[in-house]
Amino acid sequence: MALVEVPQTTSYPPLEEKKPLQDPPPVVVTPCDPWPRPYYLDNGLRRVAPYHFTYNTYCKERWRGRELLDIFSSEFRDRPLEYYKDAIERGAVTVNGKPVPTTSHIVKNGDIISHTLHRHEPPVTALPISILHEDEDMIVINKPAGVPVHPAGRYNYNSVVEIMRAERGHSWNPLPCNRLDRLTSGVMFIGKHPKAAEKLSLQITDRTVRKEYVARVKGEFPDGEVVCDMPILQISPKLGLNRVRANGKSARTVFKKLAYYPAVNKEPLKSNKEDQVSADEVKRGQASEGYSIVRCLPVTGRTHQLRVHLQFLGHPIANDPIYSNRRVWGANLGANDADASQDTDEDIITRLSRMGKSEVADAVAYHDEMVDEYNKKKAEKMSGELCDVCQTPLYTDPGEQELCLWLHSLRYEDSGGSWSYLSPLPSWALPPDGMQGPVEVGGMEALVEAVKEQNPEIA
């Protein structure tokens, strides 16, 4: 196509002169980034001494044109409205680094909202993050149960990332390549540099990496390899609740019993005597039916896949406060109810929302997605004491059920055989006192063999 000259018959307004880039508005900086981190160990828990911390947040689109107090009251509900009103009035909450005249200050696009508070973190287990392997690119760790991977919610320094940073230096930046839920323990990969982290993350995404979990479940699990192909549907995004449903996303898991340990005693026993089951175990029915240790090979990676498939098979994880809770799922615990004919989704959601005080607190400890419900009811877990510095209501220490789920990431290995990492069995998977049983697992050949025709990528 020939180029022709266009006559200048139309005049245009001159272009506005570009303004030089301006520095961002001054914001409050964190007044305290304690180093070394204020950890201390007490009563089997890793604690963080309370410290001042400033959150800096750019105005989100949904905040534009809204009053500052309204934003805090609806978006940040871990403290009462009176706290935020007082924080704004005394300057602990600022906009663009400056106090605002009233709590009804209107937030605009581009504003930076800063909130300085006296931060209280929940304690986590004092067990160390053990190293399974380390080279110049990667660290393979055995994550303890009860420790979140990243800072989130009320957890900051009590996270895998920050604990490892505290051990290796303030400027060191650990890069997790796979994610485990807070209460799940086991094998995790921490990249030492972005290229290594990206390479392994892509391998995991491409499903050329096999992973094996081990779980402690209710009752005697069947012999042989058990393949569960039931699809999984999220029935409540707000509660993070999933169940087997025909119209869900495809999911496949291979299970194989490692051991079965029969009931300690057929009769419920009191928990205050030695060598007797705990009250919690009696409550969950373990005293009368025993439990199994089950190996799990997830072929797909759906949310709560292992927990949901084990529940459907009639053998939920024994200390799972959601999927092993009869007050939510009924006497059959949701087993073999793919069409929701026994209990509708609405029934399940309603029962979960109405659980009792301790059950709610125990249950929500497993789900980041259940923060809303937790914020509404967590006051029932308060100690009744106030912080001397900020007058914030203080929590009681977490119970055992809030620190561990009997689900462990046991092994990761390349399907081509170039590498494999195996952690020791967790204590809850070892034979109980006075009983014989396996203390380690073999290879994954039998698990892989059960699905290699349908899933050759993991063979």
Positions annotated as catalytic residues are 181
∠ CA(443), CA(449), CA(451), 5° rounding? 125
Crossing angle (nearest 10°) for helices 81-89 and 68-75 = 140
Nearest to 211 by CA among 405, 446, 415, 439: 415
Element (H, E) at 113: strand 112-119
3-state secondary structure of 180: coil
Element holding 229 (H helix, E strand): none
Phi, psi of 216, rounded to the nearest 5 degrees: -110, 115
Cα separation, 9 vs 14, in Å, equals 15
Backbone angles phi, psi at 326, to 5 degrees: -70, -25
Nearest residue to 146 (alpha-carbon basis) of 374, 392, 362: 362
The answer to whether the CB of 426 falls within 8 A of the CB of 185 is yes
Q: Sort strands 185-191 and 407-414 into parallel, antiparallel or unpaired.
A: parallel
Question: Which residue in 316, 318, 355 sits closest to 337, CA to CA?
Answer: 316
Of 97, 107, 101, 29, nearest in space to 72 by CA: 107
Peptide bond into 36 cis (omega under 30): yes
Instruction: Name residues whose C-beta falls within 8 Å of residue 275's C-beta, 6 or more positions apart in sequence.
Output: 433
